[in-house]
Each structure stands twice: as structure tokens, then as C-alpha cells.
A and B are shown apart, each in its own frame.
Chain A
Amino acid sequence: MKGDIILRVIAKLLVPFMLLFALYVQFHGDYGPGGGFQAGVIAATAIVFYVLVFGLEAGRRLLPDWLAEKALAAGVLLYAGVGVAGLLLGGNYLDYFVLDADPVHGQHRGIFWVEAGVMLTVTGVMLKLFYMFADRGRDGEGE
């Protein structure tokens, strides 16, 4: 019982910081190491940590399956959408410099949205993978 309480308190303290760190890595990826992939994996790991301490049902209430699946697809759509926006505004597919009057600012915008799309997809996939593997084991196929 004592060990249980310690784990719960520490988890409740740590999970917000882990998510905050994931967002920091995502947005600071332009100035230091980081970017979409690292941020997505760190965010998924934060939720996995929460599930390990509080159980699968609590994790499912926090971030349900359908949200992970929608995030999966939305990330890829966002990335492709940025490319199409480049097409519509007069450049080639995935051209960033047409996205704004100032080409450098256009690059900034393009990179920002593209990295956001990558983070959504990576978080969704890693979380969904974890849910599927954990789900398979709980009802047990006769073992």
C-alpha cells in the first residue's frame, strides 16, 4: 500500500511536466535539438507512464481510443494539406516560400505546421500501438 501511494503521487506530479517537456521540444525544435518525432514520442511516453501507474481504464478515460485514431490520420492530412496549400498559392507542391509575403516567414509557417502534423501522427500511432498490445493481454486468449 505504501509503495502504491508514492507511485501515484509521483506520477501525478511528473506527468504534466513530461507533457510540457514534449511541447517544449516540439516548439523549440527550430533553435535546439528536437522537432516533431521526439516530441510525439515523449508525449506518448508520458501517457504510457500514466497508464502504467493508474491502470488502462484511467488512461482510456484520459485519452480514448478514437482520439488516438483521429490524431493518427489528422497528422498525415495536415502535412499533405500544407503541400496542397503551397500548390493553391502558386508554387509547387510543398513549397513554403509562397505561404507568406516574406519568403523566410513563409518557411517558418510551413515548418511549424509540418512539424505539428508529424507530432500528431507519431503520438497517435505510439499510443494506439500501446493500447492494442495492452488490450490483447487483458482478456487473455485462453492463457
Chain B
Amino acid sequence: MTPAYLSYWLTIFLMVAGLYILIARGNLLKKLIGLAVFQTSVYLLYIAPGKLIGGTAPIVAEGFTRYSNPLPHVLILTAIVVGVATLALGLAITVRIREAYGTVEEDEILERDRADAE
């Protein structure tokens, strides 16, 4: 039973590690990197079930009869590009925050907002 589920458990470990970076660290840049790690682990989550042992890449060619499933590949291709778009926008917002507050540490930003509100 264990080897059959190993791919899922590895993916879950990567996902949880990315989630931990996202919620437990205060630096905005590191949070964004944690988000990117989380997204990448989700790609693995989708592609691992699509593989057939003994199959080959889904390009129709002479001599091959068993192909791995092409459908997850298509979805993940879109997901990768959307992920980089999200990362780019997040980085742009972080740069603007740095210019407005002088720091990218979440604690200091909240301090400054609290001080301004009084």
C-alpha cells in the first residue's frame, strides 16, 4: 500500500511546507516564495496520477501504444503561466509597499498603520 500513495504524501509534504512559509514568516518576499512553492506542489499533485507505468509522453508516434494522460498536462500548462503572472503582480505590489512604508516586514507595516490610525 505504501508505494502506491507515496507520490501523494510527498506532494502533501511540499504543500504543507509552502503553506507554513506563507503563514508563519513575516517578510512579504518570503511569503510570495512560499506561495510559489505551494503552487508548484499542486502541479505535482495533478500530474502524478496521470502517469501510466510503461507509457510514454503523449505524442503520437510509431511503435508506441500506451500514452500517459494528456489532460492534466494541458491544465497545468495554463496553471504555470497563471502562477508566474500572479508572482509578477505580487512582486510589483511588494515593491510599491517598500517605497511607501520603507520596509517589507509585515509586523513593522502593521505597527506603522496602527501608529497612523491614532
Contact = CB atoms under 8 A, between A and B. Distances in A.
Chain A, interface size category, equals: 10 to 19
A31 B99 CA distance: 48
Nearest to B91: A133
B88 interface: yes
Contacts, number: 15
Interface string A103-143: 00000000000000000001001000100110010000100
Contacts of B91: 133
Contacts of B92: 132
B81 interface: yes
Query: By DSSP majority rule, is chain A's interface helix, strand, loop, or mixed?
Result: helix
Interface of A: 31-33, 37, 122, 125, 129, 132-133, 136, 141
Interface of B: 57, 59, 77, 80-81, 85, 88, 91-92, 95, 99
15 contacts: A31-B59, A32-B59, A33-B57, A33-B59, A37-B77, A37-B80, A37-B81, A122-B81, A125-B85, A129-B88, A132-B92, A133-B91, A133-B95, A136-B95, A141-B99
